[in-house]
Structure formats: C-alpha cells, structure tokens
Structure 1
Amino acid sequence: MAVVIEDKYIIKDKIGEGMFGMIFLAKNKYTEEIVAVKLDESILLKNEARIYRVLADIKGISKLRSFGSIDRYNYMVIDRLGKSFEDIKVENRIDMKTIILVGLQMIRRIESVHKRNIIHRDIKPENFLIGRGEEKNLVYIIDFGLSKLFKINNKHIACESGRSIVGTLPFVSLNIHEGFTPSRRDDMESIGYTLIYLFLGGLPWVNINTNLLCEGLKSEKDKERVDSDILERETYRLKKTTNFWDIDGLSGELIIFIKYCRGLRFDEEPDYEYLKMLLTNLYKMKKYPIDNIFCWDV
C-alpha cells in the first residue's frame, strides 16, 4: 500500500539516502506534479525547514511546500530538482567553461544565504544541483540541515576552538580541521575546493589508503576509530601542504581563490565581488563566448 502524506503526496521512488534520512519522489495526486520528499528521524530536518523559510524568496533555493511528521519521521516537501554536480561529474568530465559559469552561480547563492545571516556549513558538489526544464542552467543550493546563524541580534557569533569537524571531510576548510567555529570564510573555502574537485575530477587528499596504518589492530571498532582519526589527520596534512601551483593544468585564479579564503579573519565578510572577478577574468582569458551554454547543452 502506497504511503500518502497529507492526503496529497503519494510516495514513489527513493532517490537518495543520507546519514539520518531518505529522499523520495512523490506525486501530488490532485495536480500530478512530481515533488521531492525528505524523511528524517533527526531534528536536523526541523532546522532545515526553518532555514528554507528564511531563504524562501532567493533565486536558486528550492521552494518548501510543506513540513510535518509521520510516524517516527519528520518530513519536508520541496521542489524536485535535476542532477547534482557530483552526479554530473561521475557521468562525464565538466569543462572549464561550465565550471566557471557554475562557480559564479555558486558564489551568488552562498552570498545570498550569508546576507540572511546564515552559514551553510556543508558545501560540496552533492549539495549543488541544476534545475529542470527551462531551469536546467540554474544552479540550486540544497541541504541546510547543518546550517546555522552566524549573527544573532546583529552580533557575530564568537570564535571557539576545540570543536569537532562539521561538514564533509574533503571539502571542509583548514580552520574547521583545526577545530574553530565555522563562519562565512569556511563556506567560501569549501566552494574553492568544490570548483577544483570538478575541474580535476578529484582532490589530492581524496582516496587516502589507511589500511597499512591500521595493521596490527584486532578489534574492528579500534580499526574504525583509528581509521577515522588517521583519515582526518592525513586529509588535513595533505590539504595544508599541497602546493596547488604544482598541479598540472590548475588555473592560477582558482589557486588565488583558495589562498584569499584562507586569509580571511573569522568574522570578516568575504569580498564576493573579488571572487567573482577572479572567475570572470579566467573566463575572459580563455576567450570563451558569452553564450551561457553549459557542457550538458552541447
């Protein structure tokens, strides 16, 4: 028997699954419209729905249709979107022209989010999606479960140390590795890593082999704990020591992007226009036509 939410949305295929919940396609039985439904057992979904309401009028933010609970799950109904940039990368390499066009939109999206005093805290290719139909070249940002306010009553939150890592390991900033409170600078550094990842098809600190370092440990629990600790340390070490200038074909503008973000103070507002200018200058230098054609259009 099909699960129906609010006597309106008929749950169909599962299209995604994360640490806390699942994402399904659902059909509005009155309009036949296909939407996305996120089911989650944690409190993160309640926070995410609240964030979606704050960002409701921003371009590239999915529309929140409904939020509630069913059995042990919270649910959230939002627009159905297209593929994530992780999916697109897996299917075929994304060219530099498209990466620049996409990067400009990513900066605009996160700038708009920051203007509402919100930091995302989990920037990565999976959390940027393209729209559908006429919006196939519009970049959306999703997954605000870990998002938080960085300003309360117009006062910036304090910088604390000794914190656990928040976000997805390959894409978090050096400051997050070092245990500092996330802020706007960290979202922007993560965008830089996302763009490099899309261009290179990976990152120098991804696919670290920890098996040899876990030899001699008998308990699976010990292996998992040590494996996780080693992965964090090795990712941080490689991220901090990698000389981006030595990477074949990586543009100087993307390297400057990373270095700029790493140099920001905790409470400093990023210069979004400067970061967009870096990408725009690269676009001009490559002499790409101003046609807004992406690699999936060809």
Structure 2
Amino acid sequence: MEVKCIDGRFRLKENLGTCTKCSMFRAANLVDIGHTVLVKIGQSKHHGLLERERAILDQLCGLPGIPGVIWSGTEFEQDVMIFEDLGPTLDNVFKSTGRRLSMNTIVFLAEHLIKFLQHIHSRSYIYSNIRPQNILVGPVLPGQQTNELCLFDFSLAQLYRDPRTHSHVPFLSGRPLSTILPFASLNHHSGNQLSRRDDLESLAYLLLYLARGSLPWIDTNITSNSDILQSKESISVAQLCDALPSPFTTFLSYARDLSFTQKPDYNYVLNLFRALHADTAAPPPALSPAAEMSEQAYWTEDVVSLHPKLAVSVYETPRKR
C-alpha cells in the first residue's frame, strides 16, 4: 500500500527521488503548521536498511553535522525515518550558481566537512558516502555568520574499529561496489576494505569538483565503476589540481598516501585550507545576500531561491585596474 501520511502527523507532498535503496520525500508537518520534514522510506526488498542507519545515527547523536531524527518506525509494512528539513543539498546550490562557488566558500565547506569526518571517526565509524547530494545547506542561524551544514544518508557508514578496544578491522579485498559512486576512493572502487583514509580521499574529490566545476569522470559517457577507476588512475594528481591552489594537490596526495590503519592528521589538513583564508584576505564566508569585495577578489551575488535567506557569492577572476 502506498504511504501518504505517516504517524498521523506528516503528509507527503513532494517526491525528491531515491537515496541509496530508499525513496525520499518532503512532507508537510500537520501539527507544526508551515514546517516541512524530509522522509526516507525503505524499499521492501531492503528491509532493515533504515533500522541499521537509525542505530548508527543514535551512536553519532550530538555530533556536529549529524541530522536530527524526528521519528522512525513502520508504516504500511515499510520502514520510515523522518528528519529535520534543513535546506537544499549542496548539489542543488552548486548547480544553481552555474557550478561556480567562491574559493572562500569552498574553504568554509572544507573546514566543516573535515571536522565532521574527524568527529565521526572519533566514534569509530567512517561515513563512506561523501557526495554533494548528501550535504544539506541550511540558512544562516541567528547570531551566526555562516550557514548550518549537515551530512545526510548514513546507509553506507560502517565501523572501522571496535568501539571498546579500538582494535582496527582487518584489511579485506574483493568487496565490489554495488552502486555508482563518482567520489569514491581508489580503494573503494577496487573493492578493498575501507578506513579513515578513504573518507578523506572522497572529500578531496568533492572539493576538486567544487573548485573545477566538474571532474573528468562526471558528466561524461563514463557509467561504470571500473571506467571511473580507470579514469582516476590515468589522471595524475597534478593534472586534476592544475591551476588550483596548492592545498588541493597536497590534500589529495596526503589522503592517498595514508596507510590502511593510519589516523589522519586532521589539524594538518585543516591548516592547509585555513591558509587560503589568509591568502584571499576576505572575511569568513556566508551563503548570504551580502556581497563582499577585497583587493584579491571581486564578488557578485547569485541569490538562490531554494531556501529562505539563502544565497551564494560567486568568485570572479580579479580584474586589472
């Protein structure tokens, strides 16, 4: 039976597509009038997937960047989980700007996402699902200068160590990908056991995607993980990072060079990108209507009508005077 109203409080009103073997909807809150929520409904053939994800989110509860679960349960024999509707995805925002974000905004995203991963890793989990569709961009909250960010879809998250003993999982191979993941690490594509290094490598690809506007294996005829892997292996780090500030090259190389059990130096990679703030000599970014100008950069506005108070500054090449 088709689910239309959940827990007597949430009425489905917009189909948002699929999300790792689940269907996504936006729903109206019939109790808190005017507010919406995100609804994730598990496919019947993947029963238990949302229950597992809820258990993981319970372990990560309270950490920055973790979505708040409003309700979870079963409706009409289908697993359902309901989240706060923080705002549009980074993918929506990025495409609405013509795939042009300011370098300061990319650095802002890098800093927050590195910290999010560090906190998740501290709870013995890896995220394993970094992509722009899984990052929600909320409005600037009262008293804050920057937007609220949140990771979404923890269906691929997994333990990389025993939470009690901190004994690392053993290295295994022969674990092929079941879905196309353009931002997956080389190890992920190769079917190797994942660890903390793979989250960082995936984040490096995401940041390169935002800085370049695309990646060689995205928006092409490449449609299989084996082809994506071949493309990633055939393109050097220098080629991928050509014309970009050095932290992009250093970060991707560092992530790829980490050993399977090695703990990343999060402060090191944070400082790589923080240095770019000093280079641009601009204040901390906010995806807000305020246009800014510095001697290094000229800013324009591209107001995005995807969420109240949401707008994105677009970085332009400095003009000669």
TM beyond 0.5: yes
Q: Is 2:138 the counterpart of 1:137?
A: no
Tell me by how many angstroms 1:297 deviates: 5.1
Question: Is the contact made by 1:161 and 1:180 (CA closer than 8 Å) also made in structure 2?
Answer: yes
Which of 158, 165, 174 is the equivalent residue of 2:170?
158
Which of 50, 60, 63 is the equivalent residue of 1:58?
63
Match of 1:71 in 2: 76
Identical positions, percent: 29
TM-score (norm 2): 0.80
Question: Is the contact made by 2:104 and 2:285 (CA closer than 8 Å) also made in structure 1?
Answer: no
Aligned partners of 1:107 and 1:131: how far apart in 2? 18
Q: Is 2:114 the counterpart of 1:121?
A: no
Tell me by how many angstroms 1:291 deviates: 3.4
* 1:201-233 deviation per Cα after TM superposition (whole angstroms, max 9, x unaligned): 1112224436xxxxxxxxxxxxxxxxx6xx333
Question: Is the contact made by 2:3 and 2:75 (CA closer than 8 Å) also made in structure 1?
Answer: no
Match of 2:197 in 1: 185
TM-score (norm 1): 0.86
Aligned partners of 1:54 and 1:201: how far apart in 2? 35
Aligned partners of 1:146 and 1:25: how far apart in 2? 22
Question: Is the contact made by 2:20 and 2:155 (CA closer than 8 Å) also made in structure 1?
Answer: no
Unmatched 5+ stretches in structure 1: 211-227
Letter of the 2:225 counterpart: E
Tell me by how many angstroms 1:37 deviates: 1.2
* 1:252-272 deviation per Cα after TM superposition (whole angstroms, max 9, x unaligned): 111110000001111111111
Aligned partners of 2:203 and 2:212: how far apart in 1? 14
Which of 265, 270, 275 is the equivalent residue of 2:264?
270
Aligned partners of 2:137 and 2:60: how far apart in 1? 18
Tell me by how many angstroms 1:234 deviates: 2.8
Aligned partners of 1:26 and 1:184: how far apart in 2? 35
Of the structure 1 ranges 40-49 and 243-252, higher mean CA displacement relative to structure 2 is found in 243-252
Question: Is the contact made by 1:97 and 1:294 (CA closer than 8 Å) also made in structure 2?
Answer: no
Which of 225, 231, 245 is the equivalent residue of 1:232?
225
Letter of the 2:104 counterpart: K
Question: Is the contact made by 1:39 and 1:75 (CA closer than 8 Å) also made in structure 2?
Answer: yes
Match of 1:209 in 2: 221
Aligned partners of 1:166 and 1:191: how far apart in 2? 20
Tell me by how many angstroms 1:53 deviates: 1.2
Question: Is the contact made by 2:188 and 2:194 (CA closer than 8 Å) also made in structure 1?
Answer: yes
Report the RMSD for the aligned CA atoms in angstroms.
Answer: 2.2
Of the structure 1 ranges 56-65 and 14-23, higher mean CA displacement relative to structure 2 is found in 14-23
Unmatched 5+ stretches in structure 2: 289-310, 314-321
* 1:32-89 deviation per Cα after TM superposition (whole angstroms, max 9, x unaligned): 2321111112232111111111111112211111111112320001110211111111
Q: Is 2:245 the counterpart of 1:251?
A: yes
User: Of Structure 1 and Structure 2, which has the larger fraction of its residues in helix?
Assistant: 1
Match of 1:34 in 2: 36
The runs of at least 4 aligned residues of structure 1 exceeding 6 Å deviation read: none
Q: Is 2:98 the counterpart of 1:97?
A: no
